[in-house]
Amino acid sequence: MTLVERDRACLWHPYTQMRLAPMPLPIVRGEGVYLFTEDGRRILDGISSWWVNIHGHSHPRINQAIAEQAARLEHVMFAGCTHEPAVALAERLIARLPKGLTRVFYSDNGSTAVEVAVKMASQYWINRGRPERRVFLTLDHAYHGDTVGAMSVSAASVFTRPFTPMLFPVLRAHAPYCFHCPVGLTRDRCAIDCLQALDTQLAEHGDTVAAVIVEPMLQGAGGMITWPAEFLAGVRRLCDRAGALLIADEVFTGFGRTGRMFACEHAAVAPDIICLSKALTAGYLPMGATVATEAIYDAFLSDDRNRTFFHGHSFTANPLACAAGLASLALFDERDVLADIARLERQLERGLSQLRQLPRVGDVRVMGGVGAVELVSSRGPGADDLYLDGIGPRLAAAFLERNLLLRPLGTVLYFMPPYVITPAEVDWVIEQIADVLRSIPEA
Report the catalytic residues: 15, 143, 249, 278
Indicate the residue among 220 and 319 with the shorter CB distance to ligand PLP: 220
Q: Does 391 bind ligand PLP (CB under 6 A)?
A: no
Q: From the centroid of its chain, how far is CA 333?
A: 23
- Minimal distance in Å, beta carbon 145 to ligand PLP? 3
Contact residue for ligand PLP among 143, 284, 315, 415 (CB under 6 A)? 143
Smaller CB separation from ligand PLP, 220 or 362: 220
Give the binding range for ligand PLP (CB under 6 A) out of 110-118, 256-264, 306-314, 354-362.
110-118
Backbone φ and ψ for 211, nearest 5 degrees, come out as -160, 155
Q: Is residue 410 part of the contact set for ligand PLP (CB under 6 A)?
A: no
The answer to the question of residue 271 lying near ligand PLP (CB under 6 A) is no
**249 scored as a contact of ligand PLP (CB under 6 A):** yes
Minimum CB distance to ligand PLP, residue 357 (Å) = 31
Alpha-carbon distance of 389 to 234, in angstroms, equals: 34
Which of 207, 212, 192, 208 minimizes the C-alpha distance to 271? 212
Does 110 interact with ligand PLP (rule: CB under 6 A)? yes
**DSSP line for 365-415:** EEETTEEEEEEP-TT-TT-TTGGG-THHHHHHHHHHHTTEE---BTTEEEE
Total number of residues binding ligand PLP (CB under 6 A)? 15
Q: Which residue is nearest to ligand PLP (CB)?
A: 110
Cα gap 260→37, rounded to integer Å:
33
Q: Which range, of 69-77, 127-135, 143-151, 186-194, touches ligand PLP by CB under 6 A?
A: 143-151
Which residues sit opposite 373 in a β-bridge? Answer: 364, 413
Strand 245-249 vs strand 209-214: parallel, antiparallel, or unpaired? Answer: parallel
Residues 198, 190, 225, 438, CA torsion sign: positive
403 neighbors 44 (Cβ within 8 angstroms): yes
- Residue 390: CB atoms within 10 Å: 8
Q: 250 with 335: CB under 8 angstroms? A: no
For ligand PLP, the binding residue among 89, 104, 114, 209 (CB under 6 A) is 114
Stretch that binds ligand PLP, among 39-47, 164-172, 213-221, 331-339 (CB under 6 A): 213-221
- Helix, strand, or coil (residue 285): coil
Our CB check for ligand PLP shows the closer of 118 and 430 to be 118
By CB under 6 A, tell whether 258 contacts ligand PLP.
Answer: no
- Interface with ligand PLP, residue 145, by CB under 6 A: yes
Nearer to ligand PLP, 111 or 123 (CB): 111
Q: Given the DSSP bridges, would you call strands 288-293 and 101-107 parallel, antiparallel or unpaired? A: antiparallel
Per CB under 6 A, 140 contacts ligand PLP: no
Indicate whether 220 belongs to the interface with ligand PLP (CB under 6 A): yes
Residues of this chain that bind ligand PLP (CB under 6 A): 109-111, 114, 143-146, 215, 220-221, 249, 251-252, 277
